Structure 1
């Protein structure tokens, strides 16, 4: 695997509000935060651009709503912001796709001549997957570091329930098998990016 010299790391919604287990329920992949931190560190050490995406929920009871402490980035992410030399962008959004945020992610990538995105963050099957699908549709070379993401158990129609791990695997199969993105491990990305 090759990681371009100007590949953008897109860190999706790594916010304090996702630590409110009573709201979200059981999650998978307890090592996700460590892997997100490792990716940010490698991107900043190699002078590559990092995009930090924040979900500003418009739902009044959401832990991610503006004005609530949960809207802020997790401490390890906040501590790394502004530390790299490869450029940095903050995108805020109120929907799943980072491409529908402010400022315009697509315009920023085009202006910078960036064609490859590496995605990490929360939730695997929601904002990470939606951003990956849209990136693939827009013609970007999208890489998803699956173990640098996590999600939560979910109930759907007909009483169907899926665990967070089942949802993460379904996302991986859909993205990779469907040609939207290459789904890999953090170690794969770190090795290729150094």
Structure 2
């Protein structure tokens, strides 16, 4: 795996509100936070750009709504912001894709000549997947750090239930088979970033 010197790590919605299990339900991948932290560290140590994305929910009951404690980044993310030697961007969004945030992610990446992005964060099958799909559609080479994401059990139409693991696997299969992104492990990315 070859990671460009200016490949951007896009850290999607790693916010305190996702700790509210009573709202979201059971989650998968308890190692995700450790893996996200490891990716941030590797990117900052190598001087590569890091993008911190925060979801400002417009739903009045959401744990991610502005003005509520859950809107804040998780502590390990907040303490890393501003610590790298490379460029850093903070953006907010109200929809699934980080490419529809403020300031404009695509414009920032293009101005810096970035053509390769790594996506990590929460939720695997929602904002992380949507950001990766849009990145692929927009012509970026996208790496999806599968084990640096997590999601929650969900109920769909007709009462269909899928576990968080099933949803995460569906995301990996969709991204891979659809050619949107290369689905990889965080340790592969950390190793490649150190080369």
> Is it true that 1:183 corresponds to 2:183 in the alignment?
yes
Q: Distance in 2 between matches of 1:159 and 1:59?
A: 23
In the alignment, structure 2 segments of 5+ residues that lack a partner are none
For residue 71 of structure 2, what is the aligned residue in structure 1? 71
Equivalenced residue count is 194
Q: Tell me if 1:87 matches 2:87.
A: yes
1:145 aligns with 2:145: yes
Q: Distance in 2 between matches of 1:130 and 1:119?
A: 10
Could you report, residue by residue, the CA deviation over 1:97-151 in whole angstroms, capped at 9, with x for unpaired residues?
0000000000000000000000100000000000000000000000001000000
Say if 2:32 is the partner of 1:32.
yes
CA shift, 1:177, in A, is 1.1
How far the C-alpha of 1:172 sits from its partner, in A, is: 0.1
The CA distance in 2 between the partners of 1:119 and 1:135, in whole Å, is: 9
Name the Cα RMSD after superposition: 0.3
1:85 Cα deviation from its structure 2 partner: 1.1
Partner of 1:52: 52
- 1:121 aligns with 121
Runs of 5+ consecutive residues of structure 1 not aligned to the other structure: none
Q: Normalising by the residue count of structure 1, what TM-score does the alignment of the two structures yield?
A: 1.00
Displaced runs of 4+ in structure 1, greater than 4 A? none
Aligned to 1:21: 21
